[in-house]
Amino acid sequence: MRNSIKNNMKNSMKNNMKDSMCNPVKTPKKIYALFTMLLLMFIFESVMLKNRAAIVSVFKNEIHQKPEKYTGTDNFSKTGNDTVPTQKKRIALTFDDGPHPAYTIKLLDGLKERNVHATFFVIGENACHHSEILKRMSTEGHLIGNHTYSHVQLTCIPEQTAIEEIRKTNDVIENATGVRVKYIRPPYGSLPKELTSETTLTPVLWTIDPRDWSVLNTTSVANHIVSRAKDGDIILLHDIFETSVDAAFIVIDKLQAEGFEFVTIEELLQSTAD
């Protein structure tokens, strides 16, 4: 009995082996086709991925590429991911009625310390006693303009007298500095039309007037200017008052921190003409 079972098992195993060797299970054609298709898809996807990586890397390089060395002087402001060059805000400090033997010197020291150039509209009869101050202004890069010889209202005097007021002041400035005068600030802002054609000087008024001569308070004058300052403004101050000189220093420090650049009237007019 045991032997017959053993023999049956052997025969059964032999038959199974025979089946697997001589009669393999036939793989349907569909499976071959599917396998081939999957293989092709895999190859195709690999090639595409490689190409896509290369394209993205070129694109990224274009987006993030920065100039190796920027040699210009433009200020850069950030808008989103782009860096766009923009012009710096420019503003001009002007001082009338000087020079003053003490306060103008204090002002020049403070301007030099802060690397700022300003414009001085001097009165001829003050300037003629202080040619050394005028020379220093010019040497240190400041612009000097005409504010008449004796601070007269040019619309209220005879034309010939007005011309004399301007000519004498030009002489004082030019003798002290050797630089030709190009700008005039008429006292009280009034210049007769006839006189404009008589003189080659360019009249310059102002856009911010804190009335420093009346206020005589450093903080109030400085706050008035700083709260209104914008690109292209011309600030009117008088360097014959210490409160105004101190206010100018506060204004410079605050506005420089806000990105303003202080320039002379000539530089300001040139930049607006560009």
Regarding 165 and contact with Zn ion (CB under 5 A), the answer is no
CB atoms within 10 A of CB 9: 10
Decide if 147 is catalytic. Answer: no
Q: Are 43 and 49 in contact (CB under 8 A)?
A: no
3 state SS for 18-43: HHHHHCCCCCCHHHHHHHHHHHHHHH
The nearer residue to Zn ion, 135 or 213, going by C-beta atoms, is 213
d(CA 39, CA 60): 32
Contacting range for Zn ion; rule: CB under 5 A; set: 27-35, 109-117, 129-137, 180-188: 180-188
- Helix H or strand E segment including 56: helix 29-64
The pattern of x and - marking residues 80 through 109 that bind Zn ion according to CB under 5 A reads: ----------------xx------------
Contacting range for Zn ion; rule: CB under 5 A; set: 1-9, 46-54, 185-193, 224-232: 185-193
Position closest to Zn ion via CB = 96
The nearer residue to Zn ion, 154 or 255, going by C-beta atoms, is 154
Decide if 238 is catalytic. Answer: yes
Per rule CB under 5 A, count of chain residues that contact Zn ion: 3
Choosing from 187, 218, 248, 261, the residue that interacts with Zn ion (CB under 5 A) is: 187
DSSP summary character for residue 265: H
- Minimal distance, residue 243 CB to Zn ion, in Å: 16
The nearer residue to Zn ion, 107 or 255, going by C-beta atoms, is 107
The nearer residue to Zn ion, 147 or 260, going by C-beta atoms, is 147
- Minimal distance, residue 209 CB to Zn ion, in Å: 11
The nearer residue to Zn ion, 173 or 255, going by C-beta atoms, is 173
Q: Are 90 and 116 in contact (CB under 8 A)?
A: no
- Minimal distance, residue 114 CB to Zn ion, in Å: 24
- Minimal distance, residue 124 CB to Zn ion, in Å: 12
Annotated catalytic residue within 96, 212, 233, 239: 96
DSSP summary character for residue 114: T
CB atoms within 10 A of CB 217: 16
Annotated catalytic residue within 130, 238, 239, 246: 238
CA nearest 238: which of 205, 264, 216, 270? 216
- Cα separations (Å) of 22 from 8, 17, 27? 21, 8, 15
CA nearest 119: which of 143, 139, 148? 143
- Minimal distance, residue 64 CB to Zn ion, in Å: 55
137: helix, coil or strand? helix
- Minimal distance, residue 153 CB to Zn ion, in Å: 10
**Which residues make up the interface to Zn ion (CB under 5 A)?**
96-97, 187
Show which residues are catalytic.
96, 238
